[in-house]
Amino acid sequence: MSMLYPTARGGPNTKEFDGEVHAFIAYDKKRTLNCNGYGPGPVTKLKAGDVVKVRFWNPSLPRAYWNKLPPKNKFPQARHGGGTCQFSLSYDGGKTYHLIGEYSKSCPDMYYEWPVKIPENVPSCKNNCLFVWSWTAVTVPQFYQNCADVEIEGLDKGGSLPKESISIVDAPGYKKDVVVPGDGFGEHTGKGPISSEVSQNLRGKWE
């Protein structure tokens, strides 16, 4: 699985599209932190307070559905029973991460949108700015990460970033053999975002 929107480095809808953008960190020598080893890509413009409707991609997803949700259960997806997705901002090109959203058990799943709010009090950012998706899978000890290059229109004075960072596991130099709870649906379509987690993401829990 990989992030489809915001447009990820090396992902669908980019000139640099790599059909293996969905590979996990350390799958091969080029799959490294940060950003799965990909260089800068298209820039998505966001504003403080925006709700980003994150979507996911899998090689089975036809191009016709790269810009809209597919009918449920129509295409297979390697979601490995779900797991925990974290969403973060980086203002230094991936050296540090600032957690802004999290979904557990059923994430990721390409049949749903996963709302994540850009905190209302973040500073503006025009260079080295990333919207980052990270995933710890449930059935396999694998860690995934995609980065979308972004520009953020935020506060010009007095802005701040959330202090909590993301959890990195099963990558070189980090804790190994970590798995997290899933939803029991295997590679099939899950139940989508948990309503209480949608609420906490949109309330700005990490602001």
* Helix or strand holding residue 78 (H, E): none
Spell out the residues 6+ positions from residue 126 whose beta carbon is closer than 8 angstroms to its own.
151, 152
For residues 193 and 183, is the Cβ–Cβ distance under 8 A?
A: no
d(CA 20, CA 30) in angstroms, rounded, equals 11
pLDDT at 179: 85
As a whole number of Å, the end-to-end CA separation of the chain is 28
Query: Smallest Cα–Cα separation from 166: which of 142, 118, 134?
Result: 134
pLDDT at 139: 79
pLDDT tens, residue by residue, 35-71:
999 999 999 999 999 999 999 999 999 999 999 999 9
pLDDT at 204: 83
* Helix or strand holding residue 136 (H, E): strand 130-137
Tokens, residue 125: 């950012």
Q: What secondary structure, in 3-state letters, does the chain show?
A: CEEEECCCCCCCCCCCCCCCCCCCCCCCCCCCCCHHHCCCCCEEEEECCCEEEEEEECCCCCHHHCCCCCCCCCCCCCCCCCEEEEEEEECCCCCCCEEEEEECEECCCCCCCEEEECCCCCECECCCCEEEEEEEECCCCCEEEEEEEEEEECECCCCCCCCCCCCCCCCCCCCCCCCCCECCCCCCCCCCCCHHHHHHHHCCCCC
Residue recorded with tokens 């260079």? 127
Task: Tell me which DSSP letter residue 9 carries.
Answer: T
Query: Smallest Cα–Cα separation from 68: which of 113, 119, 28, 17?
Result: 113
Written as tens digits, the pLDDT of the chain (207 aa) is 999 999 999 999 999 999 999 999 999 989 999 999 999 999 999 999 999 999 999 999 999 999 999 999 999 999 999 999 999 999 999 999 999 999 999 999 999 999 999 999 999 999 999 999 999 998 788 999 999 999 999 999 989 999 999 999 999 999 999 989 999 998 899 999 999 999 999 998 888
Domains in the chain with CATH codes: 1-207 (2.70.50)
* Helix or strand holding residue 126 (H, E): none
